Chain A
């Protein structure tokens, strides 16, 4: 079981494949946790680099989400806009271990360098 640097956000089963769910962070930007049809998990900030559309609500295909507002395609892997569009949304390191999802604590707090180590509790 991972602790310390990794924040346990619960079991994988709570996100249907092909969809995303949101994780608000007080004092930092809301995150979107994606589960792709290929079974991978990704965490990114839930705001499109175009006009802050909620990416969690887009259609997921491959490792890409299509923004629900103006159809930009955003790579879940590195947060970059694909095709002719330009922009990038921050990604948060994520690990899956024994059926649970963990986020890198420091990154959850907005790349916060001074993030204090904390105990994960679910």
Chain B
């Protein structure tokens, strides 16, 4: 035994030359890759037939084999390199293994059955094992080769990061997956200012759904990291050959002293491909880890087995067992692995396994506990768990994973599954009602308001026979709502079948009503749709087509200027700022203030009709013109033309102010008492662009003959000699309702202020998709009158309306015409036939 190239330091290029075995020639096994899979395979073989092979391992890294996954704790300062070494020099020596480290194999010659390393060393083999792992994927952007751009794969990378961290400053990590976040965590603990740039909208999107991604993001931001999602790196900026920052596609620049690329890995297949082995994404192997050459085997991240490449260690262990069985003639076979993931960031508990994308026949069981920051989702299909995502409490991760791998039928424990193993295996406790019944009287039900089971029960016995009555009676479940299930169980247990259902819940995703949700958004200062869903325990991961637009409106109304409108939660018309028609084209209605127009506008409309071949133009019931049959691709150009003539969006598509209808008024009409046209224009200028629970229509008539039909509008003004009668809650649609008289005022200013105040009251109180007529029927005219009884209150409502209008009165058409959100209007590309084939043309 001879040790060359220095002493037996674990982290140095060391070569151990194995003994020539006296008892005669053995089969020669050469291993390329001194990493986790290669060495494990050797261990497995030695455990079966220690004397069968003469083994040589080549490793490109100048050190012994270590536990690669523990590089994250090394970076974070929680472990040293010595602590993560798996195979010490003694292991190689004791097993007679020749280790050639720091010497990369450059070629496999299958004809002569030899491998050739960079140093020129040539080693013959009977069996060859390729365990080259994978290479970090480098995104091909300008600046990728600058000094200070590093990957996260081996100890040298960690050393580079530590050297940068020593100097302090800023780090940018490109990639918000497992590796990227562990790198970010380590660098952040080492004192760097860290930004994570992630292409996808949600962190770790391959392992986490949007809800868990949101929680993870909030936690990392709390720790001071900057998380940029949906961010596409355009260039790495350099200064004097060293990185200085990163520029994103949207022009944002982030300064950086080091850039870590952690966007993914590629199986290292180069050697195999050159040697002519069959390679797709990975080196193709059969169930015995044999490649297309029977003398060459392969394991680890570099292989593709039954169509899959793996990037985690658990599958490697199974592969190595199958391989060792095969080469020692006990063939068992590898059948693929189901994997699970945990993030190694201290203080963050996160687990994911299997397929969490849902789908046909899949049922989501979701539990959220906002107070403790917990989100759990188990996906069940055909009574079997197919996936799980856990955040905040991962104690049951391995239990779910076990049920998943074994494919066990969970129908027996279905009801209690989400509460975890302790609960579900409790036998007698299988029925949640029974579990609640078994609680002692002083057991706490509602943590937020400190309400015990005894108090809830006496509240129910005192006459509170619905969830809502309990909420107002003893406050249980009135705050975060996470105990709603418990209270409902108590109602069921206490009353038997007598439970009354409260106001309808917002949709099937929540147990809260519209009013509850609105109140809680304000009380708990919720700021985004995922935030609401987590805090209010949504039972679906990302809501549905009915709650998403409602939440978007409630947030917009509660946080003017702060909340960023979520376009993808809007109905098509509001997203496209035009009305969709039955053939998929759009109609365009420019605003005509108070029903007034002029030659310039009419000419522009006429030109648009001709230029874009609009099949129809029509006078609407709202005193303006509607252009029909415009294609989504043409909308921005149509708007640009209309904008040029001074016209803006008429919001004929929106849950927003539609039209202010007027009559001619005192300026021309022989009966007119006031300038109804002028007031109508002023009111429309004040109110246009505002988002509402439903559409909102206004009219101003110049006298009680009421030619503008003000008494069937949401807000109607009827001018009289002595001033202005203000009417509310009218509707001319499905169910005609004449307005109620709200009040009479003397001046235009008062009329306008009351209009603003009434709109704001409606905006703040009505439920989404409730027009003023049904709203007033529900709350009563007296409620509205009372709310707007004194001047102070009117001023306050009006002021809130004006504040929110500061952010609303931007013509959405102008922004689109200027190129904003072009993706909503352009095709991705077009597929066209060419001579003999189909080709793609970029839009």
User: Contact residues of A with B, CB < 8 Å?
Assistant: 7-10, 12-19, 21-28, 33, 36-40, 51-54, 57-63, 66, 68-69, 71, 73, 75, 77-78, 80, 97-99, 105, 108-109, 115-122
Contact = CB atoms under 8 A, between A and B. Distances in A.
Given A17-B202, A59-B545, A109 B838 contact: yes
Contacts of B632: 57
Interface string B746-787: 000000000000000000000000000000000000000000
B549 A59 contact: yes
Given A17-B230, A122-B829, A122-B842, 16 more contacts: A7-B838, A9-B840, A13-B249, A15-B828, A16-B201, A23-B829, A25-B831, A37-B202, A38-B357, A54-B584, A59-B569, A61-B540, A78-B360, A80-B360, A98-B266, A117-B837
B651 interface: no
Contact of B540 (A27, A40, A62, A77): A62
19 contacts: A13-B199, A14-B828, A21-B826, A21-B827, A23-B830, A24-B831, A27-B833, A38-B209, A39-B200, A39-B205, A53-B582, A53-B584, A57-B572, A59-B569, A68-B571, A108-B831, A116-B836, A118-B838, A118-B839
Contacts of B263: 99
Given A13-B232, A33-B828, A77 B360 contact: yes
A7 B840 contact: yes
B652 to A, nearest CB: 16
A4 to B, nearest CB: 11
Interface string B196-213: 000111100110011000
Contact of B840 (A27, A115, A122): A122
B621 to A, nearest CB: 22
B100 interface: no
* Majority-rule SS of A interface residues: loop
A28 B263 CA distance: 36
Interface in B117-144: 137
A22 B202 CA distance: 23
A16 B249 CA distance: 14
Given A108-B838, A118-B838, A63 B200 contact: no
A68 B548 contact: no
A-B residue pairs, 6 tightest by C-beta: A118-B837, A18-B568, A39-B205, A66-B545, A68-B572, A17-B201
Given A33-B828, A108-B831, A62 B541 contact: yes
A25 B570 CA distance: 27
Contact of B831 (A26, A53, A75, A97): A26
Interface residues of B, number: 59
A98 B137 contact: yes
Contact of B542 (A27, A51, A62, A77): A62
Contacts of B523: none
B447 interface: no
Contacts of B829: 9-10, 23, 122
Interface in B534-559: 540-545, 548-549
A88 to B, nearest CB: 12
B358 interface: yes
Interface of B: 137, 199-202, 205-206, 209-210, 230, 232, 249, 263-264, 266, 281, 356-360, 540-545, 548-549, 567-573, 575-576, 580, 582, 584, 632, 823-824, 826-834, 836-840, 842
A53 B567 CA distance: 20
A115 B831 CA distance: 13
Nearest to A31: B831
B828 A10 contact: yes
Interface centre among B358, B827, B829 (most CB of A within 10 A): B829
B369 to A, nearest CB: 22
A68 B833 CA distance: 30
A9 B828 contact: yes
Given A17-B230, A23-B829, A24-B830, A63 B358 contact: yes
A16 B831 contact: no
Nearest to A27: B833
A16 B568 contact: yes
Contacts of B842: 10, 122
Contacts of A10: 828-829, 842
A106 B176 CA distance: 34
Contacts of A24: 827, 830-831
Contacts of B543: 61
A60 B545 CA distance: 7
A13 to B, nearest CB: 5
Given A26-B832, A122-B829, A63 B359 contact: yes
A100 to B, nearest CB: 12
A66 B568 CA distance: 12
Contacts of B358: 38, 62-63
A80 B360 CA distance: 9
A116 B544 CA distance: 41
Given A22-B827, A59-B571, A78-B360, A37 B833 contact: no
Contacts of A54: 580, 584
A8 B840 contact: yes
A116 B839 CA distance: 11
B582 to A, nearest CB: 7
B72 to A, nearest CB: 23
Given A9-B828, A59-B548, A63-B358, A120 B840 contact: yes
Nearest to B575: A57
A122 B570 CA distance: 31
Contact of B199 (A73, A99, A105, A116): A99
A10 B263 CA distance: 18
A77 B828 contact: no
Contacts of A58: 545, 572
Contacts of A60: 568
Q: Which of A22, A108, A119 has the most CB of B within 10 A?
A: A22
Given A62-B540, A69-B582, A98-B137, A37 B837 contact: no
Contact of B544 (A33, A52, A61): A61
B391 to A, nearest CB: 15
B833 A57 contact: no
Given A16-B568, A39-B202, A51-B582, A23 B827 contact: yes
A19 B544 CA distance: 14
Contacts of B824: 19
Given A9-B828, A60-B568, A63-B357, A39 B206 contact: yes
Contact of A21 (B209, B540, B828): B828
A10 B209 CA distance: 24
Nearest to A71: B545
B568 A38 contact: no
A37 B831 contact: no
Nearest to A58: B572
B831 A7 contact: yes
Nearest to B839: A121
